[in-house]
Amino acid sequence: MTAAALKQGVDAYIWHVIDEKIDHSLTELTANHGLILAQLTVGLRKAQKYRDLIRTNDMLSAIALADSLTELNNRRALEWDLPRQIKKARTQKTPMSLIILDVDHFKKVNDTHGHLIGDRVLQLLCKRLRHNLRCQDTAFRYGGEEFVIILANTTGEEALVVARRLNRVVCEEPFSISNKLTINVTISLGIGCLQAEDDEQGVSLLHHADQCLLQAKTTGRNRVIASNYLSHIPHLNAVSS
CATH number at residue 145: 3.30.70.270
| Domain match, 3 and 116 both | no
pLDDT reported for residue 22: 57
| Domain match, 132 and 53 both | no
| Domain match, 109 and 212 both | yes
Q: Cβ distance 166 to 132 under 8 Å?
A: yes
pLDDT reported for residue 156: 93
| Domain edge (last residue) among 18, 42, 64 | 64
| Domain match, 135 and 213 both | yes
Crossing angle for the helix pair 156-171 and 115-131, to the nearest 10 degrees = 130
| Domain match, 32 and 54 both | yes
Beta bridge partners of 98: 150, 192
Q: Cβ distance 87 to 155 under 8 Å?
A: no
| Domain edge (last residue) among 64, 99, 119 | 64
| Domain match, 95 and 181 both | yes
Pairwise CA distance, residues 197 & 66, whole Å: 30
| Domain match, 33 and 126 both | no
Pairwise CA distance, residues 170 & 222, whole Å: 10
| Domain match, 128 and 234 both | yes
Query: What letter would DSSP give residue 19?
Result: -
Q: Cβ distance 117 to 152 under 8 Å?
A: no
| Domain match, 91 and 36 both | no
- Beta strands 223-226 and 187-193 are parallel
In a domain, 130, yes or no: yes
Crossing angle for the helix pair 106-113 and 115-131, to the nearest 10 degrees = 140
| Domain match, 80 and 35 both | no
28, 145, 146, 157: the active-site residue? 145
pLDDT reported for residue 15: 67
- What pTM was computed for the model? 0.74
pLDDT reported for residue 228: 67
pLDDT tens-place string over residues 165-188: 999 999 999 999 999 999 999 999
What is the residue range of 234's domain? 75-240
In a domain, 69, yes or no: no
Residue by residue, DSSP assigns 171-232 as: HSS-EE-SSS-EE---EEEEEEE--TTS-TTSHHHHHHHHHHHHHHHHTTSSEEEE-GGGTT
Q: Cβ distance 102 to 213 under 8 Å?
A: yes
In the chain (241 residues long), the average pLDDT of successive 10-residue segments reads: 80 64 61 79 87 82 84 94 97 97 97 96 96 94 96 95 96 95 97 96 96 96 83 42 36
| Domain match, 19 and 120 both | no
* Number of domains comprising the chain: 2
pLDDT reported for residue 232: 39
pLDDT reported for residue 7: 83
pLDDT reported for residue 233: 41
In a domain, 11, yes or no: yes
| Domain match, 133 and 229 both | yes
Pairwise CA distance, residues 168 & 164, whole Å: 6
In a domain, 167, yes or no: yes
**Catalytic residue status for 145:** yes
